[in-house]
Every structure is written in C-alpha cells, then in structure tokens.
Amino acid sequence: MQPLINEQSYRQLPSDCYADCQPTPVKTPQYLAFNQTLAAELGLPETFWGTEAGLGLFSGNQLPDWASPLAQAYAGHQFANYVPRLGDGRAILLAELRNQAGQLQDVQLKGAGRTPFSRGGDGRSPIGPVIREYLVSEAMHALGVPTTRALAAVSSGEWVHRDEALPGAILTRVASSHLRIGTMQYAANRQDPSVIKTLADYVISRHYPSCHTAENPYLALLQKVIDRQAALVAQWMSLGFIHGVMNTDNMTLSGETIDYGPCAFMESYNPTQVFSYIDQQGRYAYKNQPAVAQWNLARLAEALLTLINTSQEQAIALAVDSLNRFPEIYQHYWLTHFAAKLGISAAESTDKLLIDDFLTLLAESDSDFTLSFRDLSSPQQGYLSQQVAPERWQAWQSRWQDRLKAEERLGQDPLALMNKTNPVLIPRNHLIQRVIDNVTTTGDLTLFNQLHRLWQTPYSATTENAPFQQPAVPQERVCQTFCGT
Ligand code: AMP
Ligand code: MG
C-alpha cells in the first residue's frame, strides 16, 4: 500500500482551535456500507476496506499510524442563542488527505466516542442518524448539491441510550473541510487577536486562495462565503430540501451542506413547512432558509470585523454593504434554478412571476413539489392536470408555453433542461424511515442498498425506481424528524 499522506494542516493553527483525542473502541464493529468510489478518489487502495486495518480505521478501534486524531473547537448560534464553546462533541478528525483531483479532504469519524467537547453527551450516534446521513448526503451529491460525503458506516455492536436503547453506529464523513461560521466565531472570541487572523488566512488558503491578492482579503473572503451560501441555499430551495437546523455551527465556510440531522425533503409544496421536532417556532422553515443564511452570514461578518478594517465604523460599513447584496445574489441563483426547472435556460427577471404563479398553484392544490416539476416534461402533464383546477392550469400553461417558444427560437431544448433539473427521485422521508426501521429491527440492508443505488441516478425514470417516485400515503407520512444526538 502506498503510504497515505496526512497533511495535518489543522495542527498548524493555534492550539486552542482543537484538542487531541482518541476514538473509543467499540465491541463488535461491522460494515453497514462502504463507498468504494469515494475511497478510490481519496487514494485508498481498493482492498483496504475489507482488511482488519480497514475496519479498525472506520470503527475507530485501531487507527493507522498516519492518523492524527483531534476534535475541532467551534462556537455557534443555536436557534439565535450564542454558545461560546460547542466543538466536535461526537466527531473526531482523523486525517486530511489530498484526493485524486488534488483537493484536500477531511476524513472524520462521527459517533466514535467522547471528546473534550462532549459536555454531557456520550459522543455516540444511534444507527438511524448514521443511515440517514449516509443516504441523504450521497443522494445530495448525486443531485449535484455541494455536500459532505459518506465514506463508511459501521455498526458498533453496542447500545446507545436515548429515550430508548438503540443500536449504535459510526459514520466516516469526508468534507473539503469542517470549517463553519461557528469556527470563525470561536476564533474571534479568543483573547489573543491573532487567532482570528490566523484562522481567516487558513480559510483563504484552503478554500478561496484568490482572496490573498484581493485589495481587502478578509472582505473578499466574506463576499466569497456569501456567494457560496447563497448558491447553496438557492439549490436547496430548488429541490424542496429543508435543512432543519441552520445554526451557525452547521453552516460551512466552503458552502457544502453539512449535518443531516433533522433534514427532510418536502413532499406537498408548503412554504411554511417544518419537520424538525425541536424547531417549534419554525425558525428554519423552508421559506425562511435564505433569510436565515443571511442572518448567519452577518454573524460571520461580525467575527471578521477587526480584520476588515482597523476602524470599526469603516469595517461595519463595508461588511453591511456586502451583506446587503445577499438578497440580490440569492435571487439570481434562485431564478436560474427555478427557470431551468421550467425549461428556461436564459432566465429573465420577468420569469419570477411565472415561477411564483406555478408555486402558488402547487400550494393551493397540495401538490407534490418533486412530482409536479417533473410532470412538466411529461407528454400530457397527467399529474398536474389532475391536481390543479382545469381553468387555472390551462391559463398558466399557455403563458408557460408562450415563454418556451422564445427558448426554442434560441435553439434551446427545454425538455432536456427540465429532465436534468427536475429529479424523479428524492430521498423521501418515509423511505428513509423504512430503511432505518428495517436496519434497526432486523439488520436487513436490502432496501438500504437498493435505495442507495437508485438515488445515485435521480434524474432518470426507470421501471425499478417507479414505486419510489411516489409521495408517502397518509399512514406512511413522516411529519417530524429528530436530531438523533
Ligand atoms: P449538532 O446537532 O450536530 O449540530 O450538534 C450540536 C453540538 O452538540 C455539537 O457541538 C455536537 O458535537 C454536540 N453533540 C451532539 N450530539 C452529541 C453527543 N451524542 N455527544 C456529545 N456531543 C454531542
Ligand atoms: Mg452540528
């Protein structure tokens, strides 16, 4: 085996940015899943996972000598309340490996036991949240959404005690970094003012190297993150994805989706939809996601303020100016995604009305978001014509058809565009729940494997995936999701 090089860049940061710690071994680890493709991208040898060393690594039982485990420190606003010290309470960074494309990737265990940041927690995870994150993060990747990835899922052979005793598991997560808005907040609140500068320089080197040569590198960094998060949230919206817990510690600086705790895809289109049990006020409802992202970015701006300008007044003016551009940037991404979903390649501002009116039809008729958009490219629009009142449907449809004529004159192919922007399959909540129930009760991985495979090609309709295209029937409906922590 070629020696893997762990670059250990996080260890170059000031020592209060992380804490050394070791995974706690588990009784009888067994693979639930392993991602061969991702392993190959990371340069892991093909046979490694099947070896004792492989299982040792992905369970945390026996680390190779190239691993250098640590837990990262971060703060965060949880439901708008600032918590100065959160950190990896149930996650341990094992290594930073450069993938085949030359990008540095964090390899992290989640659920591998207590760390110095665990507070009252056990550092473990039940099998359910591990399965959810494995399936949904890989499905998001296949849908084209920036996201952390899942490399391995291993059951621990131990019980994890929540409201009930549940089988435990460990996820191996891969990310372009685990740097969060909360990481910057933590650094900005150190006594030593050099910590935030060192961390900001690190973020720039790792994710946005062009900022180094910008006139104001830290303002440029803020603007990059604003852009990436605006793009990300617009993409979530275009898929009906509800993150569920957009605390500042759960929003990455890279713009990758992270932490699939109480997340869910909406079925019936309802802008006020909330799934998360803990989100009683609906702070993280579907329609609030862009505003919350902007609010979180304001917290990032606060953390960067002293670096943006030595005059606080100047720094605030510059930061506010950048933050005020968020709605316009977001709107641009939103319009591009939703116009494409209607088959429009060159979106114009007037298309917003056409999109909004379509969404209103879906809301009024309780129509499934995913099925409805996909139905636009079906020959008769059989689903929509059943769902929506005929005169209203025909009125909207004729406006849409007129708009598409302009596209066709441009030589575009609306049908092809719609079929690659409107998935047939999304990871529906009831299907994830069915998988979790199967695995938790009998250990049966058949449905897990099948759905994992089908969710890798979410834009093609096949006979095999037909039953999984449908929304939950009333008795299957999952109305609430839980963090699982
Ligand atoms: P999350 O819900 O993943 O965003 O986690 C919020 C904070 O709680 C983070 O600092 C986690 O590391 C910590 N946390 C969540 N679950 C556990 C657990 N079972 N044991 C220890 N810390 C946890
Ligand atoms: Mg988190």
The reported pLDDT for the residue numbered 281 is 95
Atom of ligand 1 nearest to the CA of 125: 19
CA angle centred on 59, ends 53 and 65, rounded to 5°? 45
Return the residue whose CA atom lies nearest to atom 16 of ligand 1.
Answer: 485
Judge whether residue 336 has pLDDT over 80: yes
The pLDDT of 446-473, averaged and rounded, is: 97
pLDDT (tens digit per residue) in 81-117: 999 999 999 999 999 999 999 999 999 999 999 999 9
The pLDDT of residue 355 is 98
pLDDT of 203 above 80: yes
Q: What is the crossing angle of helices 181-188 and 194-207, to 10°?
A: 160
Distance 284 CA to ligand 2 centre (A): 15
Please give the pLDDT value at position 282: 96
Q: Where are the beta strands (DSSP E) in 2-80?
A: 18-20, 30-34, 70-72, 76-78
Q: Find, among 270, 282, 291, the residue nearest to 244 by Cα.
A: 282
Give the position, in ligand 1's atom list, of the atom nearest the Cα of 123: 20
The CA distance from 82 to 298, in Å, is 13
Query: Position of tokens 């379509």?
Result: 358
**Residue with structure tokens 């020696």?**
3
Condensed to tens digits (0 to 9), the pLDDT of residues 41-76 reads 999 999 999 999 999 999 999 999 999 999 999 999
Q: Is the pLDDT of residue 485 over 90?
A: no
Whether the pLDDT of residue 409 is over 80: the answer is yes
- What residues contact residue 482 under an 8 Å CB cut-off, 6+ apart? 261, 262, 276, 277, 278
- The SS3 call for residue 260 is coil
Residue 113, φ and ψ in degrees, nearest 5: 110, 175
CA of 462 to the centre of ligand 2 (A): 36
Alpha-carbon distance of 424 to 471, in angstroms, equals 11
Verify whether residue 249 is a known catalytic residue.
yes
- Residue of 356, 300, 346 lying closest to 323 (CA atoms): 300
Q: Determine how many CB atoms are found less than 10 A away from the CB of residue 364.
A: 13
Nearest ligand atom owner, CA of 129: 1
Q: Which of 88, 106, 249, 279 does the annotation list as catalytic?
A: 249
State the Cα–Cα distance between residues 339 and 352, nearest whole angstrom.
Answer: 8
Which residues lie near ion ligand 2 (Cβ < 5 Å)? 250, 259
Ligand 1 pocket, residues with Cβ under 6 angstroms: 86-90, 117-118, 121-124, 249-250, 259, 261, 483, 485
Range 332-341 average pLDDT? 98
pLDDT higher than threshold 60 for residue 1: no
Residue 192 has pLDDT above 60, yes or no: yes
Share of the chain above pLDDT 90, in %: 96
**In 3D, which of 49, 30, 31 has the Cα closest to residue 39?**
49
